[in-house]
A = this chain, B = another copy of it.
């Protein structure tokens, strides 16, 4: 079976033709669980905030016109007709010549239209002396001036922050409708791979991808499900992929897709459902063996086994899909930063080349990007040192030292 090696752009187009990621449904969660989730409804304010005209100071509720002309030397005398407490509906009806004691946050009584600060008054038995006039609405926060009843205060698709929780709480919502998180099955394959915690027999190494891809998946707003490590065996891989497809919305495998006699994953994927493999190999470095399949509408990403290659191809191809399935905006791709290259960076002939870099901040605040030796893309410390990667395009021979480049950040 021969399939042409696609360019990254062709692979993305092929993917987009076969699969349009959309949110996977909604759920009702409590406010405390809603932080970081994506709003699946337009939030229309059911109330005014504040719900009533509210005093913003401690003092006396008055009719503003009664205080006109009052000043230090010539106070106005008003009759005290009661007190409005915080949290209580006012029973008072204020008439001309009257004042009512009021605390910060208490509702303005009927008839009142302003509040005189306590500092500008003096109590005299059943009366108060007002030493400073107020205008209408002075020291009053009118009902609905913060949030108006009927206002579309939070829009569908909003990525909820702690600030939004504050708004939802102010409106009295205890729960909110958000998009369901996509479930992502993560499967590590390879005869040499052993799960952490197990004995390491000669010739074996511990699984890394199950954890780095898991953490990256969680950062996309999805739920990683670490299925574990499986050997290169048709029946075993067939069974576990079938199980993964039944449970998860997206499946990621790593390892077992290089060109060689044991590359069973593409065969297994073709056998599991239609259309099966849609991208088999991409002209990128690293990541050439990356394979994408669609099995009965569910995407399966078969990434290379090297930790750096696996994470890079996750960022290029899996992340945009997960983000959209989670209901986030399509343009929520990678964070980038401009930097100057520290040395000349070469491309791999005919393949779009991604070079892991470490960023160093110069005294003038500019970033310099230094490539990290990736002779062995299996080295976990290589990956751990990388702040992100730079791209050398197919038509570029190299990026020269000191050239400005865009660094895509592994922004965690």
Listed in ascending order, the chain A residues whose CB lies under 8 Å from chain B are: 31-32, 35, 47, 49-52, 54, 56, 58, 85-90, 103-107, 141, 145-147, 161-175, 190-198, 200-208, 210-212, 214-216, 218-219, 224, 226, 231, 258, 260, 305, 307, 375-376, 378-384, 410, 412
A378 and B208 within 8 A (CB) = no
Which among B145, B169, B206, B383 is the interface contact of A207 at CB below 8 angstroms? Answer: B169
Q: Given A173-B196, A379-B146: A384 and B206 within 8 A (CB)?
A: no
Query: Which of A86, A104, A260 lies at the interface centre, i.e. has the most chain B CB atoms within 10 A of its CB?
Result: A86
Question: Which of these, B145, B206, B212, contacts A163 with CB under 8 Å?
Answer: B212
The residues of B that contact A208 with a CB separation of less than 8 Å are: 166, 169-170
Cα(A203)–Cα(B86), bound, Å: 7
Q: Could you tell me if B375 and A166 are in contact, using CB atoms closer than 8 angstroms?
A: no
Residues A212 and B165 in contact, CB atoms below 8 Å apart: yes
Selected A-B contacts with CB under 8 Å, 19 pairs: A35-B218, A56-B378, A58-B260, A87-B192, A105-B205, A105-B305, A106-B192, A141-B376, A141-B378, A146-B380, A163-B212, A166-B383, A167-B380, A168-B196, A168-B211, A169-B196, A171-B196, A172-B194, A175-B197
- Set of chain B residues within 8 Å of A410, measured between Cβ atoms: 163
Q: How far is the CA of A224 from the CA of B147 in the complex (A)?
A: 27
New contact pairs (6) apart from A87-B191, A166-B380, CB-CB < 8 Å: A51-B202, A147-B380, A166-B384, A167-B381, A172-B196, A172-B197
- Return A339 CB to nearest CB of chain B, in Å: 14
* A200 contact set on B, CB distance < 8 A: 47, 51, 172
Which 9 pairs of residues, A with B, have the shortest CB-CB distance?
A174-B197, A87-B191, A162-B215, A87-B192, A89-B202, A163-B384, A169-B211, A166-B212, A146-B379
- Compute how far the CA of A412 lies from the CA of B290 in the bound complex, rounded to whole angstroms: 34
Q: Given that A161-B412, A168-B196 are contacting pairs, would A89 and B201 also be in contact in the complex, using a CB cutoff of 8 Å?
A: yes
Residues of B within 8 A of A166 (CB): 208, 211-212, 307, 380, 383-384
Q: Which residue of B lies closest to A142 (CB)?
A: B376
The chain B residue sitting closest to A107, CB to CB, is: B203
Distance of A379 Cα from B307 Cα, bound (Å): 48
Q: Which residues of B contact A90 (CB under 8 A)?
A: 203
